[in-house]
Amino acid sequence: MTAAPPRPARRMTAGLAEGVWKLASAIATPVLPDDYLDMFAPLRAGAELRGRITAIHRETADAATIVITPGRSWAGHVPGQYVRIGIDVNGVRQWRAYSLTSLAGAPDGTIAITPKAIPDGVVSNHLVHNARPGTLVMLDQAIGDFTLPTPTPDKILFITGGSGITPVMGMLRNLPSAGADIVLLHSAPRAEDVVFAAELAERDRSGQIDLRVRHTDTDGMLDLADLDREVPDWRERQAWVCGPTGLLDAAELHWAANDLTDALHVERFRPTIIEPGEGGEITLLGSKLTIDADGATPILDAAEDAGVLMKSGCRMGICFGCVVTMRQGAVRDLRTGEITTAEPGDELPIQTCINAVAGSCDLEV
């Protein structure tokens, strides 16, 4: 595309704005004008993307919908996508990804996620049980390709388990009340565990979906071999599956066995599970080098043994001169035994002089 040259007036305004910003930066140094603006308008256009929790609705005993007003830089989302949110839990910023369950382009500009508190889930428990309206959270733009194509397929099969219903709910709320032929097979342990139970039943009654809910505590897990009986025309449907890893693996096998891989779309939230171990592989992303190290050797020393001189300082954990960014993996503090893990998508600064690899770790070196 050839862009028309900007009109002189526009160019002048742009130049002026840039000049004003430069001046403001020179006046605010060593901090940035943003640091002052953030005090008054954290959600303004051009600021780092944040959001403010405006409402919290309980869904089940351990699930809640968190309504967030995103900052002006929010670029919108496609139903089915997820958003990474960073929230301070007991003073520590934690990042997690949650499917968006809200109407895309809601009139009040809000978005919503519906986390389910999982055992030992630091963030999900905080969101469901402790978060309060008014809290500022960090956001990333929505991402994910677990979305419906345009035009919407005529025949759709959704298979969901537990909180796997959330991206599908995001899609249903954004679909017209009639049109596609949609079957939704949802599994949850018990009736009271079904998130959005009332709304799903209503959509079933109104004819938007054909809902079959399975209570796995009494009915057992869904066996995909039964699909022929449950949904005889499943082969003609585009399928979206979201739920526990076991369900996703089974679906991939089943669709592949029927030569229908193209018709299957799955959402995996945790492509890798970080399991801390003793020692392991240190991957230096910059130099594309992998080093094997034991669990008693600081990463800094392991790298030096392998001929890589990383930045270093006191070598006893006090000066923070050796801090590098861990992109994923786990490390163990040799002084305290404390484990620090980074999931894919995280950028976690760690001290290399007092941490040893615990399983594996990818470092930006």
Partner 1 sequence: MTLAPERSAISPTAPHVTQAQHVAAEQHRLNTRLSLEGGAERTHPPKKSGRPNPMGHLTNEQIEAIGRELDAIRAEVMASRGARDAAYIRRVIRVQRGLEIGSRAVLLFSKNKYAWLAGTAGLSLAKILENMEIGHNVLHGQWDWMRDPKIHSTSWDWDMASPAKQWQHSHNELHHTYTNVLGRDNDLGYGLLRVDEDQPWELFHLGQPIWHLINAMFFEYGIAAYDLELRGNLQNWDELSEEEKAVFKANLHEMLGKIRKQAMKDYVLHPLVSGPSFLPTLLANFTANTVRNIWSNTVIICGHFPDGIDTFETDSIEGETRGEWYLRQMLGSGNISGSKFTHIMTGNLSHQIEHHLFPDMPSNRYSEISPRIKALMERNDLHYVTGPVLKQAYQVYRKVCRLALPNEEPGRSRWSVVRGELGKVVKGKGGARTKRHLPSTADA
Tell me, residue by residue from 136 to 155, as one string, x for binding to partner 1 by CB under 8 A and - for no binding: --xxx---------------
CB of residue 108 to partner 1, shortest distance in Å? 24
What phi and psi values does residue 49 have, to the nearest 5 degrees?
A: -70, 120
Burial 291-317 (b: 16+ CB within 10 A, else e): bebeeebbbbbbbeeeebebebbeeeb
For 156, counting Cβ atoms within 10 Å of its Cβ (0-12 exposed, 13-18 middle, 19+ buried), the class is buried
Q: How far is the CB of 248 from partner 1 (least distance, A)?
A: 25
Among 2, 90, 150, 218, binds partner 1 (CB under 8 A): 90
* H or E stretch covering 89: strand 82-89
Q: Count interface residues toward partner 1 (CB under 8 A).
A: 52
* 88 scored as a contact of partner 1 (CB under 8 A): yes
> Do residues 286 and 311 make contact, with C-beta atoms less than 8 angstroms apart?
no
> E strand or H helix at 94, and its extent?
strand 92-99
Region binding partner 1 by CB under 8 A among candidate stretches 11-19, 26-34, 163-171, 186-194: 26-34
Q: How far is the CB of 90 from partner 1 (least distance, A)?
A: 4
Q: Tell me if 311 contacts partner 1 by CB under 8 A.
A: yes
CA distance 273 to 289: 22
Residue 219 binds partner 1 (CB under 8 A): no
Which of residues 27, 45, 198, 273 is near partner 1 by CB under 8 A?
A: 27
Give the C-alpha separation, 87 to 342, whole Å.
15
Taking the complex as a whole, the smallest distance from the CB of residue 215 to partner 1 amounts, in Å, to 38
Closest CA to 287 of 261, 315, 307, 305: 307
| CA 154 – CA 156 distance, rounded (Å) | 7
Q: Is there a contact between 319 and 352 (Cβ–Cβ < 8 Å)? A: no
Give the residue, chosen from 14, 16, 17, 32, that forms a contact with partner 1 under the rule CB under 8 A: 32
CB distance 363 to 324 below 8 Å: yes
Asked whether position 316 contacts partner 1 by CB under 8 A, the answer is: yes
Pick the piece of the chain touching partner 1 (CB under 8 A) from 28-36, 190-198, 201-209, 268-276. 28-36
Q: Scanning residues 99 to 138, which ones bind partner 1 (CB under 8 A)?
A: 138
34 near partner 1, judged by CB under 8 A: yes
Q: Which is nearer to partner 1, 239 or 365 (CB)?
A: 365
Q: Does 242 bind partner 1 (CB under 8 A)?
A: no
Using CB under 8 A, pick the residue from 5, 8, 30, 176 that binds partner 1.
30
Residue 336 in contact with partner 1, rule: CB under 8 A:
yes
Is the CB of 277 or the CB of 349 nearer to partner 1?
349
Binding segment for partner 1 (CB under 8 A), chosen from 35-43, 220-228, 236-244, 272-280, is: 35-43
Does position 39 interact with partner 1 (CB under 8 A)? The reply is yes
Residue 170 interacts with partner 1 (CB under 8 A): yes or no: no
Contact criterion met (CB below 8 Å) for 317 and 276: no
CB 133 within 8 A of CB 73: no
Beta strand 50-60 with 63-70 is antiparallel
The answer, yes or no, to whether the previous bond of 151 is cis (omega within 30 of 0) is: yes
| Paired strand residues for 358 | 279
Per CB under 8 A, the segment of 85-93, 184-192, 241-249, 355-363 that binds partner 1 is 85-93
Binding site for partner 1 (CB under 8 A): 23, 26-27, 29-32, 34-36, 39, 48-49, 84, 86, 88, 90-95, 138-140, 297-298, 301, 304, 309, 311-321, 323, 334-336, 345-349, 353-354
